[in-house]
């Protein structure tokens, strides 16, 4: 076990401490991006689902004065998963091997317990900013191998972009909460089924993480219909991150396989950029799996986006 500095402790997170844990994620995101930002994940939203087990699979490192120096969590495996997926974040004021490694130690101990019950889940996946040489070295020493790349991508926006011209036979309109929910969920599950680390998400949990979020604006969630079938969709949120203008976050862009190759994905993206720009957003961001089988990176580059950060996906096989 990694020895923490004197007075630092590692323990599980309680529900009333979720806002304090979010501050760690936000501070880490700001440090990694080089500008004030909120983390793309709201840990309180995720804790309202079965995806996080606060009592056994979420940890914080606490400083002698009661502040959180780091936060780590192991996502609950879903039906059909063959890998455990974990994340951990360290506040920039406490970035050292002890905090990092204590959180990895806790994750690996919990994975060892669960692996005995779930032998078919045989890999542990962690991520690491490419710029974090210290964490990369620590993970290599533990036997993790670099298997994937993710980019944070960005585009500058301004009002007045031209409206989209949709492929023939496609009708696009904003989602209607309470009417289109199940169609949107089913289309998303279908479109992402071949993606890295995909696992089915139950409808109620999907809704908690999407339409029930405080920042969800249905007018920024576009569904493309071909008759009575959802062929693709894009969902974005406009966020206040303390800058002079809001930022658009593209949460989901997907096109189902029968409708790919017709320019629908690029057109959906262009249209949501238009909407965000007209709302006053100065930029938009998203994360992409570089090795995505559908060629998502090329699509985003064609849309005018540029990579601003690289995040490594690392795996270790479990014995």
Q: What is the pLDDT along the chain (319 residues), one digit of tens a residue?
A: 789 999 999 999 999 999 999 999 999 999 999 999 999 999 999 999 999 999 999 999 999 999 999 999 999 998 788 999 999 999 999 998 799 999 999 999 999 999 999 999 999 999 999 999 999 999 999 999 999 999 999 999 999 999 999 999 999 999 999 999 999 999 999 999 888 888 889 999 999 999 999 999 999 999 999 999 999 999 999 999 887 789 999 999 999 999 999 999 999 999 999 999 999 999 999 999 999 888 899 999 999 999 999 999 999 999 8
CA–CA dist 38, 212 (Å, integer): 19
pLDDT of residue 195: 84
CA–CA dist 276, 238 (Å, integer): 7
pLDDT of residue 15: 97
| Closest to 88 (Cα-Cα) out of 36, 130, 125 | 125
pLDDT of residue 2: 86
pLDDT of residue 242: 80
pLDDT of residue 133: 92
Look up residue 154 and give its two tokens: 């960005």
Look up residue 136 and give its two tokens: 């990369």
Residue 69 Cα distances to 9, 104, 154, angstroms: 10, 14, 29
| Closest to 114 (Cα-Cα) out of 56, 38, 192 | 56
pLDDT of residue 158: 96
The CA-based angle 16-114-39, given to 5 degrees, is 40
Contact, 256 vs 191, CB < 8 A?
A: yes
Return the number of other C-beta atoms located less than 10 Å from residue 169's C-beta.
Answer: 11
* Domains recognised in the chain with CATH numbers: 9-143 (3.40.630.30), 154-309 (3.40.630.30)
Full DSSP string of 179-234: TSHHHHHHHHHHHTTTSTT-----HHHHHHHTTTSTT--GGGEEEEEETTEEEEEE
pLDDT of residue 319: 83
Give the burial class of 261: count Cβ atoms within 10 A of its Cβ; 0-12 exposed, 13-18 middle, 19 or more buried: exposed
Full DSSP string of 59-99: EEEE-TTS-EEEEEEEPPP-TT--EEEEEEEE-GGG-SHHH
What letter would DSSP give residue 299? H
What letter would DSSP give residue 250? E
pLDDT of residue 194: 85
Look up residue 79 and give its two tokens: 């039906």
CA–CA dist 160, 206 (Å, integer): 33
CA–CA dist 158, 276 (Å, integer): 8
pLDDT of residue 199: 84
């Amino acid at each position: 076990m990694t020895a923490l500095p004197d007075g630092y402790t590692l323990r599980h997170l309680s529900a009333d401490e979720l806002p304090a844990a979010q501050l760690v994620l936000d501070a880490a995101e700001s440090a990694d991006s080089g500008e004030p930002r909120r983390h793309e994940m709201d840990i309180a939203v995720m804790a309202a689902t079965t995806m996080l087990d606060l009592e056994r699979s979420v940890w914080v490192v606490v400083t002698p004065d009661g502040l959180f120096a780091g936060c780590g969590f192991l996502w609950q495996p879903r039906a059909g998963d063959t890998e455990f997926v974990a994340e951990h974040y360290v506040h920039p004021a406490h970035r050292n091997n002890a905090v990092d490694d204590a959180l990895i130690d806790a994750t690996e101990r919990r994975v060892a317990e669960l692996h005995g019950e779930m032998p078919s889940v045989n890999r542990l996946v962690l991520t690491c900013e490419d710029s974090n040489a210290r964490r990369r070295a620590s993970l290599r020493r533990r036997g993790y191998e670099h298997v994937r790349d993710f980019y944070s991508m960005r585009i500058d926006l301004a009002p007045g972009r031209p409206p989209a011209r949709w492929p023939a036979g496609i009708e696009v309109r904003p989602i209607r909460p309470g009417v289109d929910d199940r169609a949107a969920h089913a289309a998303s599950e279908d479109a992402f089924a071949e993606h890295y680390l995909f696992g089915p998400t139950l409808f109620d949990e999907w809704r908690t993480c999407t339409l029930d979020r405080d920042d969800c604006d249905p007018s920024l969630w576009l569904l493309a219909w071909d008759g009575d079938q959802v062929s693709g969709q894009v969902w974005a949120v406009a966020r206040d991150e303390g800058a002079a203008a809001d930022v658009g976050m593209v949460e989901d862009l997907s096109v189902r396989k029968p409708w790919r190759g017709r320019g629908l994905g690029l057109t959906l993206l262009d249209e949501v950029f238009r909407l965000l720009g007209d709302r006053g957003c100065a930029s938009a961001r998203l994360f992409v799996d570089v090795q995505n089988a559908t060629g998502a990176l090329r699509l985003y580059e064609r849309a005018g986006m540029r990579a601003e950060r690289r995040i490594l996906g690392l795996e270790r096989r479990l014995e």
